Structure formats: C-alpha cells, structure tokens
Amino acid sequence: MSSSKAEELVNEQAVANKFAAMRSELNQIYSKITELEMDVSEHSLVINAIQPLDPSRRCFRMIGGVLVERTIKEVLPAVQRNKEGIEEVITRLNEALERKKKDISDFEAKYKIRIRKNDSEEKDDGARKEGTAQGVLVGPAGGSE
C-alpha cells in the first residue's frame, strides 16, 4: 500500500514538473514575441525616418556590432527585408504559441489540473479590488499657513 502511494506521489510530481516546464516554454515564447515586436517597431521608426530623405545621403548602420557607412539607397532595402523577416518569425512564433496553448489545455484536461492561487495572492487581489473602489485623499499642497 505504501509503495502505491509513493508511486502516486512520484507520478503527481512528474505531472506537476511537466506542466511547469510547459508553462515555462509558453512564457519564453511570449517574451520572445514581445522582444521581436519591439524590433519591428524600431525598424519601422528607422524606415519612416530615412524613407523621405535623399537616396544618395550618407547614413550609418550597425552590422554585427560594427558601424558601417552606407547610403540610404543601400540601407533602406536591407532594413525593410530585416523587418519582413522578423515579422515572419513573429508569425511562426504565434503559431507555435497557439499549439503550445492547446497542448497545455489538453494536458490540463487529461490530468484534471486546476490552478490554485496562494493565500497571499488572493489577499493581494482583494486589496486591489478594494483599492480601486476607494478614492484618494489629498492634503493641502502648501506647508503650514
């Protein structure tokens, strides 16, 4: 009887570890998507800044940690290609994210996993709800009169 209980604990622990690993992978995908979206935003800013300028004008571009002098005519297409490549990667990561969400959902259903909040988190949630319903009390701006 004790051996079956030990096996049950080991199995529960293995399931919990696998679930935690899956959630960690999901968070990594989210963070990578966010990082790449910021890169796309930066590329867009650069494209919008240099597009209206004279194509023969000199500009500088960082390539592999080295600052290289080029013309806008040479740099603009490269920056646009990089932006498109990053957007493709984001699309693939979003697909991977959806697959991972489905895998986690299936895993939760298979092992009947329910996520419980810690007592401290529940108290924090209560405090947040309570705090949003209250007003703010502000004293006079000046010192003593």
Q: Which helix (H) or strand (E) holds 51?
A: none
Q: What is the pLDDT along the chain (145 residues), one digit of tens a residue?
A: 455 666 665 688 888 899 999 999 999 999 999 999 999 999 999 999 999 999 999 999 999 999 999 999 999 999 999 999 999 999 999 999 999 999 999 998 888 888 887 765 555 555 555 555 444 444 455 554 4
CA–CA distance, 18 with 11 (Å, rounded to integer): 10
Judge whether 63 and 79 are in contact, CB under 8 Å: no
Residue spans of the domains in the chain: they are: 10-111
CA–CA distance, 42 with 37 (Å, rounded to integer): 9
Judge whether 57 and 69 are in contact, CB under 8 Å: no
What is the dotted CATH code of the domain comprising 10-111?
1.10.287.370
Specify the residue for token string 């498109």. 84
145: which DSSP letter?
A: -
